[in-house]
Amino acid sequence: MNKNLDILEDLELVCKKWSFNNQEKKLSELVRDYLEKINVYKVKEKNLIIFISEKNSINFIAVFFAGIISKSCLFLINSSWQEKEWQQIEKLATPDIIFGKINYSFNSTQKKLPRFEGIMIPTGGTSGKIKFAIHTWETLMASAKGFYQYFNSVPINCYCCLPLYHVSGLMQVIRCFISRGNLVVNSFENIKNNLDIIEDYHDYFISLVPTQLQFFLDRKPEYLQQFKIILVGGASIYPQQIELIKRYNLSVALTYGMTETASGITILKPNDLRQDNSSNGQILPHAQVIIEDKKEGLIQIKSLSLFKGYYPNFKDMNIFTTDDIGYLDEDRFLYILGRNSNKIITGGENVFPLEIETAILATGLVKDIYITGKKDNYWGEVITAFYVPINNNICEKDLKLKLTSLIANYKIPKIWHKLDVIPRNSQGKINI
């Protein structure tokens, strides 16, 4: 039987249990409507290049499934991108059809582009420039299957408040679809404005980035007590947050993964977090983690969920070498020390910002911290700290004094900048 017809038949069954804000039409009906529109264009081209920029979640998901069924070349689009982002994208691809609105006019003389069946998921990468990781229905399925095998939980029910163009938002849809679970889609903004509405989601997963977790910890941690598992990924969380997680008995699971792996490949389960396990969790069944130097080194990943290169260069990936340095302990828990590209070489010593940030947070004197290296003619690089103290009386002298018993002297920052807040984007990434 045609795989894509199977998807449509399954969607008819599954979407009856899915809930969206302001839903006027059934998801399956919308999928058929979009398929009709796509088929009009397919007279001209096979594997249409489709940009999905729908702000409405049910429309976004409907176009996504219509694109899968029609074997299109799907690009997931952040509708808030502006001219500079679109100029980057135009160098990569121009659409045959756009669903939703974008604030940009494409040059119609763009060169002929590769067309293949797949899902192009945006990622900023370490350079900050937008790239599209190429995924297929099969890579997304492999990730979702590994997830429910790890938790031994079918069906998977998800409460999704992350953007659907982001891999962590999209994968919640896939997990619910293949396990025939319930899906509730709501915007984070809507949740923030309705914190007093607490319902029964005791059998649901919710996925958050650390900035969202912090919002709930500050405003209403009880809101998160209604969920079975609270998945948190995208950036590290702080010791103070872990203490609050324990205090409010929240079932937080920390995840490690990336767009290139179709979301998480390791997860630290709530019980391990409560027992002060400081790792990034154990490896999910669909993945393998290899440490380049066996004991400690670059993390390499083998998985059926691996992406197929960056658009427009489609290629099978047998192994993906990340930019992360880490090691596996005897129980196969993964520990991440930091990013290789963020490594600071100062006076001939290799230093990882994550280690220093963890030590500074452990002093209990800061709310937030960011460590980077600044070029220096003598040292090569000097360790530089941007910090938000717990009160204005705390200065760098207090922090240095505490750090002398926690880390080696050469790891203590030489330059300190006191801030009211460290700017971060919606995914928790630093904007300094």
How far apart, in whole angstroms, are the C-alpha atoms of residue 262 and residue 138?
A: 11
73-123 pLDDT, tens digit per residue, is 999 999 888 888 898 899 899 999 999 999 898 876 656 778 899 999 999
User: Where does 155-269 have alpha helices with state H?
Assistant: 167-179, 188-192, 210-219, 239-247
- Confidence tier at 234 by pLDDT (50, 70, 90): confident
Q: Sorting pLDDT into bands at 50, 70 and 90, what band is 62?
A: very high
So what's the pLDDT on residue 288? 97
Contacts 24+ apart (CB under 8 A), 322-331: 322/258, 322/298, 323/126, 323/298, 324/298, 324/299, 325/296, 325/297, 325/298, 325/299, 325/352, 326/280, 326/291, 326/296, 326/297, 326/299, 327/291, 327/295, 327/296, 327/297, 328/289, 328/291, 329/279, 331/282
For residues 129 and 106, what is the distance between their CA atoms, to the nearest angstrom? Answer: 19
Which residue is associated with the tokens 């299957």?
145
Q: Which residue has the tokens 């119609």?
A: 108
pLDDT at 72: 95
pLDDT digits (tens, 9 = 90+) for 262-277: 999 999 999 999 998 9
**Cβ–Cβ < 8 Å for 211, 428:** yes
- Interval 121-175: pLDDT, tens: 999 744 468 999 999 999 999 999 999 999 998 899 999 999 999 999 999 999 9
